[in-house]
Amino acid sequence: MFRCIRLAVVVLGVLPACGPRYDCSQLATPGTRPVATRQLDVPDAARALSVSVRLTAPERPDTQTRLILFSTGLGPETHDFDDIAHMLAASNYAVAVIAHPASDARRVCGHLRGNDCWHALEETETHPEVWDDRFSDMSLLMDRLPGLLGVDGTHIGLVGHSFGAFTVMVMSGTTYVDPRTNERRDRRDPRVVSAVAMSPQGPRWFGLDAQSWDHIDRPLFVLTGDKDGSDYRPDDSPEWRREPFTHMTGGDKLQLRIVEGEHMSFTSREKRHAMSELIQRSTLAFLDDTMRHPSKGISLTAEAVKSCSHGHASLEAR
């Protein structure tokens, strides 16, 4: 008994070896399709570059296979999202995890290491030209991947983490003020039917303000945690990351809040995090509801989240 208590205290957020089992049976059940992963470079002649993606998809896509573009942030690499990509692919999604060229660590850092590399990456976030490049990456892949993969190109889902959360929110209808012109920009794409934003940014960063989320007209799922702050920007608090949801209106908006959830809890680097199954299965449930059965409404419930987390996560809807 003492061993169980000690594990629970020392390894916060990790399911003790002798603790209770989490019951996630009320959430979506992952599929069992055979999947394959490969690297794919998509050329963009207009910009004289290629956008690399780590593509995980069913071995045999069919007419029901749906395309998911996964926008990464700074730091994590494309393979750091293998767990959720494999789960979605086994459930008949083709998941393209994107290495955005303008903010890819290998290109930006070069010979730099440690904090020097991180500061160089951080600097890219402040340049609206880099934001533009990310939106162009997304548009290029929406143009090209459906034909290359033989999947539907008119109903596309987006998932993004950190800088990638900003990217997918903007492509879904979040607006921002361009610092170069002080004009509000709307970069939504009609092909996007659903989006998931993990660890998003609140007002003040990326030209976002309290009006940025006023006119999102499609389903959006926000995931964050009570420790989802920043070591290098103290103002980037967990409360700040929850602000986007408080400004959203129009229905079909959800927010999953995880006790002890940190910024990297949404990546495969956190394999021991007790909430990994909750993150993956709730994301699958949301995408299934909004991309496959939109007329039936969203079935993801607060009770299912509570059961799958033993009360260590909560779900809000608006």
- Residue 16 pLDDT level (bands cut at 50, 70, 90): very low
Contact, 232 vs 197, CB < 8 A?
no
Q: Beta partners for 195?
A: 158, 220
Write down all domains in the chain, each with its CATH number in brackets.
2-317 (3.40.50.1820)
229-234 — which CB contacts under 8 Å span 24+ positions? 229/263, 230/263, 232/118, 232/122
Q: What is the pLDDT of residue 13?
A: 42
- Residue 74 pLDDT level (bands cut at 50, 70, 90): confident
- Global pTM value: 0.87
- Residue 288 carries which side chain, given as an amino acid letter? D
Q: Give me the mean pLDDT over the 141-159 stretch.
A: 96
Cα(22)–Cα(293) distance, integer angstroms: 27
- Residue 70 pLDDT level (bands cut at 50, 70, 90): very high
What pLDDT digit, counting tens, does each position of 264-282 carry? Answer: 666 776 555 568 888 899 9
* Residue 55 pLDDT > 70: yes
Of the candidates 96, 97, 102, the one whose C-alpha atom is nearest the C-alpha of residue 78 is: 97
* Residue 65 pLDDT > 50: yes
Mean pLDDT score of the chain, rounded to an integer? 85
Q: What is the pLDDT of residue 109?
A: 65
- Residue 125 pLDDT level (bands cut at 50, 70, 90): confident
